[in-house]
Amino acid sequence: MASNGVGNGEFSFDNKRRTGLPKIQTQKTEDENVVCHDDSATPVKAQTLEELHSLQKKKSAPTTPIKSPHVFGVAVSEEERQKQQLQSISASLASLTRETGPKVVKGDPARQAETPKVQQPVHHHHTPALNISDSGLKFTHILYNLSPAELYEQAIKYEKGSFITSSGALATLSGAKTGRSPRDKRVVRDETTEDDLWWGKGSPNIEMDEQTFLINRERAVDYLCSLEKVFVNDQFLNWDPNNRIKVRIVSARAYHSLFMHNMCIRPTPEELEDFGTPDFTIYNAGQFPCNRYTHYMTSSTSIDINLARREMVILGTQYAGEMKKGLFGVMHYLMPKRQILSLHSGCNMGKEGDVALFFGLSGTGKTTLSTDHNRYLIGDDEHCWSDHGVSNIEGGCYAKCIDLAREKEPDIWNAIKFGTVLENVVFEEHTREVDYTDKSVTENTRAAYPIEYIPNAKIPCVGPHPKNVILLACDAFGVLPPVSKLNLAQTMYHFISGYTALVAGTEDGIKEPTATFSACFGAAFIMLHPTKYAAMLAEKMLKHGATGWLVNTGWSGGSYGSGSRIKLAYTRKIIDAIHSGDLLKAEYKKTEVFGLEIPTALEGVPSEILDPVNTWPDKKAHKDTLLKLGGLFRKNFEVFTNYKIGSDSNLTEEILAAGPNF
């Protein structure tokens, strides 16, 4: 095909050969540069791929103006502040025997062009350096307070078993341990804790000496410093600004860093600048085991708390819940020293500002009943009650996921999105959709997410003094009433007992109820004697006019197997009547054996179920079962009977008298 180049910028095909086709012409316009739609962009400023990649990420600002830029009248530069922060982290990681901290530098080693050189002083005479070790020569890279997105990248790139699920959550594996190891937890017994802590029979505190703690600390620190990079989180515990605790978590895994980012309170950039020295430090060496030959060790796992040093060491377990509950234990020690009551409870608040506390062991409905669309959620698990009111200790929720369904628990379902950690769940390998019914890894599957992911969470997570204290029990024996009003002594008695009944299978396949007691509804985490927490609870309830309630979410009309579970709709009606104050106006009568005050009628709940004896066809079987449960309560309480509350033995006798009487 030939074409004629026509002058004056015209262009036309040679029509002699292409007969029958219209003539195409392009005419030069006045402005050569105008194109009808020019979507060509200016070329990138980069000369290489590396340069292009460097343009993709905006440098985080020299965060915020420093509130106090002068230290002793000298202005602190951004560089100086960064240096002080690194010195603080190096001090945290210091070996106690070598008395030195590692050389630390911020940032991901994979992205560093080269490790910074350290200026060495010039020595004219050659002196052999005797105390230099290989670990002293290397740099440890600090990944400091990374964002969830950065932690996702670290986990997916470097940690086997990390995947993004279809909802955007990060699925992780906690290794061989899929739950806490209470038998491997130790607390240093020294002059600080000798008289303060609860030791001996029934206590969760198993002792170790300071020397053994220091051996384990050194082992964890040496392991962490031997790594190319460690994750450091500086965060807070307790939403009450007057009683906030600064915590530093040093860990080897992105999973652990993201978990704690979600579970602790996240500082603002301004708060981080003033963070300074932490009040408490966790050294989480994860999979690295303790030395079995070390005194007090019973396995290759050890979780050690030293209250005098304000430190916790984790060896031989990657289960993240150890950090959460370890810190909860620490709060159970630190807060009562300030006359603040630490509580293992859920907490919510009505539109009128009425606050309710929910206590209950696993399976009693604590999470379900404290998550209420008509009320604000202050928190689901750990709280403080001070002179100012209640505050959540944590910045997140740690929800069970087994058999999770959108219909049953929409708030938890919807919270499992980008930023949430999903522990030990099973998912479909292609779509990455999680199967919450699958127990292949463990039954204890969990989701950890920031509390803001719950739509009706109250931020900041604080509230006024509680109006109602609700103790939940799932009584599989079927003899406790659906609801009882408690006096102060009864509240203390049932709070110290911490009762529920599990349904356990026996050898021949018959399932029968087993009573479970956990002091203060969280025996695994308390540090002081249970009666101390109970006395504080009673004192606060008396001072602020709160009412105690015992709510049975278990069986009615017979024990497990013959009776039936009390309908959730009825329990919700009972809880609503407690919140509204209607239940206080009801008429009451007393039950035998436990001496509980029960309402005779309540709107929306069949009157006959309010007194358990009515629902049992066999009255003798009811009486026998009632006496059996009373006996179990008595037997459990024997551990606490010899303990005086302060110098007051009358108070102890009063609590005892509030128990079952037969």
- Note the helical H segments in 488-546: 488-497, 530-544
Euclidean distance between the first and final Cα of the chain, in Å? 114
180 tagged catalytic: yes
Catalytic residue among 12, 299, 362, 649: 362
Name the nearest CA neighbour of 482 among 548, 549, 547, 546: 549
Taken as a whole, the chain contains a residue count of 662
Q: Beta 466-473 vs 355-359: how paired, if at all? A: parallel
446 tagged catalytic: yes
According to DSSP, the residues that pair with 207 across neighbouring strands are 187
367 tagged catalytic: yes
Is residue 423 classed as helix, strand or coil in its secondary structure? strand
344 tagged catalytic: yes
Contact 218, 357 (CB under 8 A): no
Catalytic residue among 266, 366, 529, 622: 366
Half-sphere exposure of 2 (CA within 13 A, CB side): 6
Helix, strand, coil share of the chain (percent; to 5): 30, 25, 45
Catalytic residue among 180, 246, 266, 622: 180
Give residue 452's Cα distance to chain centre: 13
134 tagged catalytic: no
Q: Which residue carries 């035998």 as its tokens? A: 592
According to DSSP, the residues that pair with 399 across neighbouring strands are 447
362 tagged catalytic: yes
Query: Dihedrals φ, ψ of 117, to 5°?
Result: -85, 145
Assigned token pair, 52: 């292009």
Catalytic residue among 141, 217, 344, 622: 344
Q: Which helix (H) or strand (E) holds 467?
A: strand 466-473
Contact 273, 145 (CB under 8 A): no
Helices then strands, each counted (H, E), the chain:
17, 36
Q: How far is CA 447 from CA 379, 380, 435, in A?
A: 15, 13, 13
366 tagged catalytic: yes
Those residues with Cβ within 8 angstroms of residue 526's Cβ, 6 or more apart along the chain or in another chain: 198, 204, 329, 332, 519, 520, 533
Name the residues annotated as catalytic.
180, 325, 344, 362, 366-367, 381, 446
